[in-house]
Structures are given as C-alpha cells and as structure tokens.
Structure 1
Amino acid sequence: MKVKDVMNPNVVTCAPDDAIRDVAQLLKQENISGLPVADEGKVVGIVSEGDILKLLQVPEHGGLWLPSPFEVIEVPIRELINWEDTKRMLDDIGSKPVEEIMKKHVYTVSPEDSIQEASTIITKHKINRLPVVDEDEQLVGIITRGDIIRGLGKL
C-alpha cells in the first residue's frame, strides 16, 4: 500500500508570517494537532500544539523563599506586576509569526512511498504527521499515524 492510498489530500496549512494566535485558532477550528507551514506550495516548516504550548512554560525558580516582614507588603504588588508582565508577554507572543516557533527541519514522503516507509519515519523520529510532496517539492497531502493505522485496517 502506498502513501497516496491513505494520505489526506486536503491539507490545512499556514504561512510563515501568520501570527501564532491565528495558527492556534486554526488548529482548534480544524480539530488538528499540527500542520505544515507552506510558502508558495512548498513546505518550509511544521508547527504543532506542542510548539505553541512550549511558549507558555514558566521557568522554575529553585529553592524556598520566605518573605521578610517588609516583603509581606511588597509581595502582592510584585505579583501583580509579574502578572501584568506575563499578560503582556502572552500578547506579544501571539502576534509573533509562526516561523519563529515552527520546526524548520521537516521530514516528508512522496505519494509513491510505501506506508511502511512513512511509518518508519514517523516512529524513528517520534513525529505525528508527514507532509506528502511531489517531485517538485509541492505539498500534495499529509499522512498521520491515524491514516496509516486506518490503511492497515483495509489490508
């Protein structure tokens, strides 16, 4: 069985300069966990929910901190300022282009490749989806783990 037999030819994509917040909304609307980033039909990256969620990670501060009596008054004010900084940071992140967080090294397959080849790439590199490109490197589909499983069920 070949990739073209199980791939989805209706690929949801975004452009490198699309805002991260717009791409996050697109993932939600389409109920997908990732998508190729394409420029004039060529895959230039791939972005997933995980890439977006990494933006929300807050660095851990080691050690236990106990406030002094003077700091007890200062802490709520400091926390309010930190919250405002955090909200501002999240607003800034959402307006940045997706090319800043996308994975630039993208594994792809051809429609003529076997689903075994696609499965090997997916499992070896621990990825969930593979863009399918033709001989001119133009995006023609996408194949996911689920597509491969469904394809195997048809054998």
Structure 2
Amino acid sequence: MFVVYSPEGQSYLGMQNTLPPLQVPKAQSVPPVEKPTLDPLQVEQDRRYEQVPLSVEQARRQYEQVIKAARERGETIIQVREIMSQPVVQIAPEAPLQTAWERMQQHGIGHLVVVQDGKVIGLLSSQDLLGHVWQEGEQTRVKRAAVKDHMSSPVVTCWPETLIRRAAQVMTDYVIHALPVVTQNGELVGIVTASDMIRRLAMEPPLELYV
C-alpha cells in the first residue's frame, strides 16, 4: 500500500501498480543573478578569543574553578580519585609475559601498568595476551616474550581531579578500557577502568548528574 502526499494533503491511497502519474509542472527559467558590486567585508579578528598558551599550573587552577562553580550550582561532581583502584599493580617492560599473566591471575585484574624508572611508559591488558596464552592439557603455556613487545605505548593517562565523564569520553575516543592515574609530576597514584565507572554509576544514579 502506498500513499502520495502533496501540499494539499493526501492525494492517493492504493497499490503500486495503480499509482497515478505524478503531475510535475514545467520548470520556469530563472533570470541570471547579477554580479554583486559590494566590496568583500573586512573582518578583523577579535583578539579576545586568541588562544593563549597556559602552563600546567594555570590550567589546573582554571579546572578547579570550573569544578568549584559546578558544585556551587548544586551539581554532582565525581572525580577519578573517588573511584580509582590503588595501589597499582605494576610490571617492568623487560619482564616476561609469563610473569605478567601470573600477576594478573594473582590479583584478579585485567591491566598492568608498565613502569620504568618511576615513570609510566605503557599498559598491558589481558586482551594484549590473547593468542599468547594457551592450554596444553592441564598446563597453561605463555609465549616467551617480554612485556615491552606487547604493551600499548604511548599510554593515555589522567589526573586524579579528572571528572569521570571526561575519563569515559577519552576511553571511548581511544577505544581503551583503563587509564593510569598520575599526578602532574608524573607519579603513578592509581588506575581507573571502565568497570570502576559502571560500578559507581550503578551505585549512584541518575546518569545525567555526572558532568
């Protein structure tokens, strides 16, 4: 069944094989548009909106002001520091995958933060081990390789003050499931995963309050 509508309303209701021919009026010629004689507008850039480089401390102060203003408006503010896991289970880049797998099993986690000389240099997830861990009878075999050969690097991190909605957006944009949490000096203080966010949202709805 088909319905044909025109500016006057419904004009046909029936099957396809009996559709009436569409009456299309003949197109009328349009006179050419004369070339404008006005000079192009000269727009001067508003210097108030020029981007000014900020230091880390300046950016931090502005971020804190935004959070303070939101709280004064009565909005619920949830920061990463409130849901992150700590202490963080770490591993060295030279460690074998066997050690990484055993550490994940021991702690019941799916991510290891790779640290060298006190700095975060990568992230190893259980997905990175897919295809490199297999069963032979009752024994588990792990590929002979180093963590550095299979870790994700560079790694995306966030600050403890980061809002969980922003952290979730970053995870979505980069298709990742965990963010190591570091201070502005690069010190590793925690890790936040997608599971941490889901758990918090399940405990304290509604979702629209998370900004």
Common fold: TM-score over 0.5: yes
Which of 53, 73, 78 is residue 130 of structure 2 equivalent to? 53
Aligned to 1:110: 159
What percentage of residue pairs aligned between the two structures are identical?
A: 33
| Paired amino acid for 2:182 | V
Cα RMSD, aligned residues only: 1.9
Supply the distance in 1 between the matched residues of 2:107 and 2:83 (Cα, whole angstroms). 19
Aligned to 1:21: 98
Question: How far has the Cα of 1:48 moved from its partner?
Answer: 1.2
Name the structure with the higher helix share. 1
**How far is the alpha carbon of 1:32 from its aligned partner?**
1.1
Q: Which amino acid aligns with 1:18?
A: A
Q: Secondary structure at the match of 2:91?
A: coil
Match of 1:74 in 2: none
Bigger Rg over Cα:
2
Q: 1:44 to 1:154 in 2, by over 3 A?
A: same
AA of the residue aligned to 2:162: D
Identify if the C-alpha distance between structure 1 residues 51 and 124 changes in structure 2 by more than 3 Å, giving closer, same or farther.
same
TM-score, normalising length: structure 1: 0.71
**Structure 1 residue runs without a partner (length 5+):** 58-89
1:56: Cα distance to partner?
6.0
Cα distance between partner residues in 2 of 1:7 and 1:135 = 16
Partner amino acid for 1:106?
A: V
In structure 2, runs of 5+ residues without a counterpart are 1-77, 135-140, 206-211
Q: Which runs of 4+ in 1 moved over 6 A?
A: none
Correspondence for 1:30 among 87, 97, 107: 107
- Residues paired across the two proteins, number: 121
